[in-house]
Amino acid sequence: MATIIIVAVVAICLLYFVSTQRSLVSADELCKNALSQIEVQLNSRWDAVLALAKTAAQYAKHESETLVEVIQQRRGEQVNSAEAVNEQTSALNQVMGRLIAIGEAYPDLKAASLYQEAMGGMKQYEENVRMSRMVYNDTATKMNRMVRQWPSSIVASLLHFEQREYLRVDNEEKKNYPNLDEAFKK
């Protein structure tokens, strides 16, 4: 009788361990997928910024050539961590700020339909990136709960699963973030 109870307890523990491991792997893969989606959205945004810079090149050749070089260097960078996402976002914001300044300096450029379409597209790409960031943070929350809550934390520590870093927008970035709605209205 005691042997049956011990075997049953061991079987239940083993089933829990396997089930928790599968849940942790699933959550980890969802986090990786969410980061990959952010990378895709950021690359699309870089492509849109490149198109905008090429449009601006017709009006401000020297300034735009520099931006095009920066954009081409940055858009191929891999995004595999929250820090890399924040770096890409910061770089995109700096480039967009410069493009908006070029648009302000050249009223003919701002009135061009291609420029206006590109700016409108930028708003959509920014919304896509924002939504992808939200999905990643939600997924990271689920993963972090499993890694921190008992008893799944025991399985997580045995299998070396770690908490995921959240994506944040710091206060300085919020101040420097170009307001596309305002730039588009002027």
pLDDT at 178: 47
For residue 42, give both structure tokens: 């950021």
Rounded Cα distance between 100 and 182, Å, is 10
pLDDT at 176: 45
Which pTM does this prediction carry? 0.70
pLDDT at 177: 46
Do residues 140 and 160 make contact, with C-beta atoms less than 8 angstroms apart? no
End-to-end CA distance of the chain: 82
* Residue 17: count of CB within 10 angstroms of its CB: 16
pLDDT at 5: 92
pLDDT at 21: 93
* Residue 59: count of CB within 10 angstroms of its CB: 18
Give how far the C-alpha of residue 5 lies from the chain's centroid of Cα atoms, to the nearest Å. Answer: 50
pLDDT at 135: 92
pLDDT at 145: 93
Q: Is the peptide bond before 151 cis (omega within 30 degrees of 0)?
A: yes
Domains and CATH numbers, the chain: 2-185 (1.20.1440.20)
pLDDT at 28: 93
Q: What backbone torsions phi and psi does residue 169 show, to the nearest 5 degrees?
A: -115, 115
Rounded Cα distance between 166 and 136, Å, is 8
Nearest Cα residue to 180 out of 124, 137, 119, 136: 119
Residues (pLDDT < 70) of the chain are 59-70, 72-77, 109-111, 170-186
